[in-house]
Amino acid sequence: MTVQGGSASVVAVIPARGGSKGVPGKNLAPVAGVPLVVRAIRACLAAGRVDEVVVSTDDEGIAAVAERAGAIVVRRPAELANDTASSEAALRHVLQVRYPDQAPEVLLLVQCTSPFITAAEVDEVVAAILERGADSAFTAAPFHGFIWRVDDSAYGVNHDHRTRPRRQERPAEYLETGAAYAMRTEGFLAAGHRFFGNVQAVPTDPARVLEIDEPDDLARARAIAGLLETERPVLAKGAVQAVVLDFDGTQTDDRVWITADGVEQVAVHRGDGMGIAALRDAGLPILILSTEVNDVLTARAKKLRIECVHSAVEKQSELRAWCRRVHVDPEAVVYVGNDLNDLGCLQIVGWPVAVANAHPAVKQAAAWTTAASGGHGAVREVAAWILGEDLSGGR
């Protein structure tokens, strides 16, 4: 992507350097199957008030992932990517390189070390600038705790430790989350830092506040992702370009009926057929990918008029080969699975999805989990999410 001649009113910049001492490779570390830098990109792309999303990086691996996720990449020089370089320096560099003639009205700093940032939060800090008269704004979590400092002895910082007022008697304080900052570009360039003029704190959900600085932070994010992200991720237009579906346990309930002569039979959900047909009619390439040998897969794919690869020895290799054949980047693929042999595929696609009755490890690797179980409408649920349509009913 080009990095010159940009013109936009609201630009989100995501600093993502390659070096990280606390968590090596941090910005590419996955949470719920999605690299941290991609999670930040997706939140910004889904925000209605953001015109362009730029990733500033010195790392070619991060650059490649960011471009596939839909961001513009600005290569950052080494002197601006060391341990002492500031985020403000990265912002100024982006303005010089990408917007040399016409700077955006509003500049956003979005940190990919905050894995649970949402598009709504991004929009809200922009709204503070454009609608509520702020010069700079930041995401902040309401806080009612007692803060102490320890020198020779402990003493209260935000309270008189000799009294214990009740929560409702104390005004809320706000903890800077580190997730998103917005600022008028002209004021930022004049001040040289992100806080100036009329500064506004934009309240966010304290339950979602987590900054990844140490390995334990990353482990905690992965552990709670399934609890916090119960809703479907917001899809930017064109984010999904192909769909790959496991079969047993995903399009079936994982049970098999065996007749007296040894023929295996399974049950599928009519609503799933309707969802697949809707995806097919929308022009999305669709593949059924399975390790199973049963001919029922071929029959099902033929009826749905989609491709099928069965008896796959290495599903991820088959997935990569199919993506090359249909000219789709794995970053733009939704993969739906349920069991351990799906983990390899979930790790290489941009939109990994687990069905409700999936193995716990699969749910942890997925960007989200359907409400329906395999064989009970999970595929129709995924199709409705991708197409943004109500696909209730049967076929």
| 185-221 residue pLDDT tens | 999 999 999 999 999 999 999 999 999 999 999 999 9
Whether the per-residue pLDDT at 53 is higher than 90: the answer is: yes
Quote the pTM value.
0.78
Q: What is the pLDDT of residue 395?
A: 43
Q: Please tell me whether residue 340 adopts helix, strand or coil conformation.
A: helix
- How wide is the angle at C-alpha 36 spanned by C-alphas 32 and 38, nearest 5°? 95
CA distances from residue 149 to 38, 145, 152, 324 in whole angstroms, order as listed: 37, 13, 10, 58
Residue 274's Cα: distance from chain center in Å? 27
Question: Residue 150, Cβ neighbours under 10 Å: how many?
Answer: 7
Nearest Cα to 240, choosing from 307, 335, 321? Answer: 335
Helix (H, G, I), strand (E, B) or coil at 387: helix
Residue 32 has what pLDDT?
87
Could you read off the pLDDT of 280-311 as tens digits, one per residue? 999 999 999 998 777 788 889 899 999 998 88
Tokens of 9: 């009113």
Please give the pLDDT value at position 394: 45
Rounded Cα–Cα distance for residues 191 and 185 (Å): 10
Instruction: For the chain, list the strands marked E by DSSP.
Output: 10-15, 30-31, 34-35, 52-57, 72-75, 106-110, 136-143, 148-150, 154-156, 173-184, 199-203, 242-245, 257-258, 264-265, 286-289, 307-309, 333-337, 351-354, 368-369
Q: Please state, in angstroms and as integers, the Cα–Cα distance from residue 249 to each residue in 5, 216, 231, 340, 372, following that order.
A: 50, 33, 22, 11, 12
What does the longest C-alpha to C-alpha distance in the chain come to? 83
Q: Which CATH superfamily is domain 10-228 in?
A: Spore Coat Polysaccharide Biosynthesis Protein SpsA; Chain A (3.90.550.10)
Is the pLDDT at 82 greater than 50? The verdict is yes
Q: What is the pLDDT of residue 233?
A: 81
pLDDT digits (tens, 9 = 90+) for 89-138: 999 999 999 999 899 999 999 999 999 999 999 999 999 999 999 999 99
Tokens of 335: 């993969």
**Between 97 and 234, the higher pLDDT residue:** 97
Residues 6+ apart with CB under 8 A from 16: 27, 37, 40, 55, 56, 57, 59, 62, 66, 112
Confidence (pLDDT) at 1:
39
Which amino acid type is present at position 26?
A: K
At residue 20, what are phi and psi to the nearest 5 degrees? -155, 115
- Could you please state the CATH topology (level 3) that the domain comprising 242-387 is classified under: Rossmann fold (3.40.50)
Domain boundaries, the chain: 10-228, 242-387
